[in-house]
Amino acid sequence: MSAYNKKAVTYTSIFRESKLASSLEGNNKKQKLQNAWEEVYRNHERLPYTLTRKIVHAAIDYRFNQRNPLTREELDQLSCIVTDLGYDMEKELKAVKLKEDLPEIKIPPAQLIQRLESHPLVSEIVGEPLQLFKNGHFNEILYVKFVNVLKLKYKRLHPLLKLGKL
């Protein structure tokens, strides 16, 4: 439920902003969320609206970045559940703009792949990162893996880094 990035929007951060972090008690994520939502529905009349809005907007971004966008059908199901709980958010949830069109994956030109394969660093990035690049995934996974490889190589080459001076 937590994230490594302090700015990441998680259930924990959303409940913490609403001064409900203490209600996130339990052994696992499902139990924590169940306890927190029970607390909200029992003791806070307007808070379910606020939490639902925040969670829906965070879910839209998260799912889009995971290449599994939130769908209108899922929002309609949520609307029915929230209505059954006594909160009318149907119009509001219908008005939510979804990011359903994923960016097209573009395969790099053959010349660029050949140049990368002939580069001296290829032994360091061969395998999954190189295959991701060939398949057109110029995303964070490729970036992170490539940067980590470069950092390791740089540390091996630069003596001051070994001493912690840089």
Tens-place pLDDT, residues 129-162: 677 777 776 654 556 566 677 777 777 766 665 5
Both 75 and 141 in one domain: the answer is no
- Among the residue ranges 12-26, 46-60, 74-88, 126-140, the one predicted with the least confidence is 126-140
Give the model's pLDDT for residue 76.
Answer: 93
Confidence band (pLDDT; 50, 70, 90) for 65? confident
Q: Is residue 4 part of a domain?
A: no
Q: Is residue 6 part of a domain?
A: no
Both 18 and 42 in one domain: the answer is yes
Both 24 and 86 in one domain: the answer is yes
Q: Give the closest residue to 150 by CA, choosing from 115, 111, 119.
A: 119
Both 128 and 74 in one domain: the answer is no
Domain count, the chain: 2
Query: Average pLDDT for residues 115-139, to the nearest whole number?
Result: 68
Q: Is residue 101 part of a domain?
A: no
pLDDT-above-70 percentage for the chain = 73
Both 76 and 147 in one domain: the answer is no
Q: Is residue 123 part of a domain?
A: yes
Both 147 and 78 in one domain: the answer is no
Q: Note down the domain range covering 134.
A: 110-162
Q: Which residues contact 108 (CB under 8 A, 6 or more apart)?
A: 133, 134, 136, 138
Q: Which of 40-44, 113-117, 131-135, 143-147 is most confident?
A: 40-44
Both 88 and 114 in one domain: the answer is no
pLDDT(74) > 90? yes
Both 138 and 76 in one domain: the answer is no
Both 72 and 116 in one domain: the answer is no
CA 99-102-104 angle, to 5 degrees, is: 155
